[in-house]
Homo-oligomer: A and B are copies of this chain.
């Protein structure tokens, strides 16, 4: 049995607590929140604490607080030489206070409090300073049923940046499509199957191979017509930039 204490009461902390509670090999010893009201509904399921000095011994401490607070929370921990991880894609491993054994347990997914999370669909990127801390964190990922990867700092930061492209920027393209359809009074719903199929296609095929469309074919007439059709200057700028990027990728 691996014992874990969770620090923080946000999206990631809450989903981790629920997921660990369902495993047979991980037991959540304590759950810390600076505001007990946030987690009081769980008080029959786990010991909840509002003071870092109340933290008892555990195998792993998971700091799942806002990026800006990771460093100060790790400093405030009242013990040393224990395994302490944060869950951020962008905060440095060395931002954790060096009195403890430092590591990162970064779940590469988008979490929100309402939505259910299937940890089979949450790749865990593990970074450790000492090699010997890796197996236990790997066991933690295995207990969750999550795919897991060992990464270094540069790789984790590259993944975090790439995630902005496939998550935030892609979602903004969906938003632009919503604006375009709305401007003609036609339902955005019609695009939903295509959105899903586009994401599904690259599960088994590289994005390079999956590309189609006027930019890849360098179909000048269609491109010209589309640009004329676009009234919004920002939409036009996105169209131009991404069309040129596709052309470059495919040697046009």
Contacts and interface: CB of A to CB of B under 8 A. Distances in A.
What is the size category of the interface that chain A forms with chain B?
35 or more
Interface in A162-190: 162-178, 180-181, 183-190
Given A171-B211, A230-B161, A198 B110 contact: yes
Given A190-B125, A208-B178, A157 B229 contact: yes
Nearest to A160: B226
A238 interface: yes
Given A158-B186, A167-B213, A171-B202, 12 more contacts: A67-B222, A108-B194, A109-B194, A110-B197, A164-B226, A165-B239, A168-B214, A170-B195, A172-B245, A172-B246, A178-B206, A238-B245
12 contacts: A115-B201, A121-B193, A155-B185, A158-B183, A162-B180, A162-B191, A166-B174, A168-B211, A172-B211, A172-B215, A195-B199, A198-B199
Interface of A: 67, 90, 108-110, 112, 115, 121-123, 125, 147, 149, 151, 154-155, 157-159, 161-178, 180-181, 183-203, 206-208, 210-216, 222, 225-226, 229-230, 234, 237-239, 241-242, 244-246, 248-249
